Structure 1
């Protein structure tokens, strides 16, 4: 019994340890804040909660059905990385190039913006805040990889791994909500100038992450092309 509980807790830690570094809730919190400057505090709280919920379900769907969906549409993981990386890089570039948000006056004006509709908040929470900013192609790849481990032998394994994965994903999703919910309070400690500098830096990092994801996917595609083309070229 004790061994079973230990193994179950180990599975939870395994999934958390695999997802947490790539999701990086504290690191994404400034990006969330920079993309929600036009929303008031109550709306940011709603967005943070919905991003946590959407992330939970998106990770689980990727974990349990991702490999089947990719096989059905005949889409490879490198293609997912390239497409998702382009979306992430585009979001980072938009933040970097938006000069209208560089001044303290603009930040203060956006802080008292008009209320937005629930439908707009739901739409914004999923795209681009949940996907591809928070749960990007890297996270989906990790989730699909973890999902492959759910198909182990034995009834006990088939039961405890999915349950452990659900609990671990819920813990990670809550950490996302917590970091996003209180991102503004953390940023206030930096002051107005420090916040602007930090948000610009976060936008640049987001752009670099997108480029890195595109490069990883393109490198895998190139390696696969060389592996399949080289034998044919050598035979000529």
Structure 2
């Protein structure tokens, strides 16, 4: 029973760490613009595909993270500190500007619509839902999985990613209602709150990485 409680607690930790940086509320305005005039079934299909793509991207970086680390000779503490710095920068932007710049796209919604393409992968999945910040969070969690608990650890992080993308799907599927209820200022307020939570995650990553660096140098 205690193992189930611990697993649920760690899954919740992953969701709390990933949801603020994924921040589907920031994706809602461009989603509404891109899907304007489309049938409801098609809108939901685009939201569903975007979240499936986002899960696939984050899961790939989680599972291949150790291989990337090995190829470039990067230490685990280095990954934690680098991820913490990236997340901290994004979080501070969210707090002080009310915008998540990691979820922004270069093309205007009208330009994307004129191109007549399937936008579920880009710009909704990448970079909006699974941008550099989300990837850094996932790799940061992956770097903290103990070597003797690899299977359970990856399963927990994957479960957290799945829950977060499901929340993102619910947000996009209810985009019109959420947009009307919160308004522009409401979305900015929620973004600032998420930025604060993300700052806490970044500090945890930095503290963990610095502690391990200190331990490594102390044993030399």
Whether these two folds match at TM > 0.5 is yes
Residue 139 of structure 2 corresponds to which residue in structure 1? 144
Question: How many Å separate the matches in 1 of 2:23 and 2:64?
Answer: 23
| 1:41-60 matched pairs, under 5 angstroms | 41-60=40-59
Alignment of 1:1-236 (within 5 A): 2-37=1-36, 39-69=38-68, 72=71, 88=104, 90-91=106-107, 94-95=108-109, 120-121=117-118, 124-150=119-145, 152-154=146-148, 157-187=149-179, 198=184
The answer for unaligned runs of 5 or more in structure 1 is 101-109, 206-236
Alignment RMSD, CA only? 3.8
Deviations 1:84-105 (A, max 9, x none): x7993524xx35xx6x9xxxxx
Would you say how many aligned residue pairs link Structure 1 and Structure 2? 167
Distance in 2 between residues matched to 1:73 and 1:175, nearest whole Å = 34
Where does structure 2 lack aligned partners over 5 or more consecutive residues? Answer: 88-100, 192-220
Cα deviation, 1:74-118, whole Å, max 9, x if unaligned, reads: 99979x99xxx7993524xx35xx6x9xxxxxxxxx9xx9xx7xx
Secondary structure at 2:6 match in 1? helix
- Larger gyration radius, structure 1 or structure 2: 1
Contact 1:12–1:167 (Cα < 8 Å) also in 2: yes
TM-score scaled by length of structure 2: 0.61
Any conservation in 2 of the 1:11–1:161 contact (CA below 8 Å)? no
If the length of structure 1 is used for normalisation, what is the TM-score?
0.57
